[in-house]
């Protein structure tokens, strides 16, 4: 995976996570920021269900899981 793409995904997911500190969930912004970058179905489903249920914990779980994936990929690249 390309370093630029990893850094972009990390930035978008970090922004999505920052939005979670707002009182109301900005569902459209979360969808836009996470579109096309969630690495697996489990975390995508957590975000989708969290948005549908207005459940911040599920959304955050999905975002943090995806962030963890990209941080691990970034470490692999920098270790080479």
The label of the residue with tokens 């914990």 reads 57
Looking at the predicted structure, is the pLDDT value of residue 44 above 80? yes
d(CA 10, CA 27): 19
- Residue ranges per domain, the chain? 3-79
Write down the pTM of the prediction: 0.93
pLDDT at 70 over 80: yes
For the stretch 5-43, pLDDT in tens is 999 999 999 999 999 999 999 999 999 999 999 999 999
């Amino acid at each position: 995976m390309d370093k630029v793409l990893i850094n972009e995904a990390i930035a978008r997911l970090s922004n999505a996570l920052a939005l979670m500190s707002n009182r109301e969930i900005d569902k459209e912004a979360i969808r836009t920021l996470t579109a096309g970058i969630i690495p697996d179905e489990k975390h995508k489903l957590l975000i989708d269900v969290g948005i549908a249920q207005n459940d911040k914990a599920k959304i955050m779980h999905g975002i943090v899981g995806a962030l963890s994936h990209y941080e691990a990929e970034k470490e692999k690249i920098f270790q080479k």
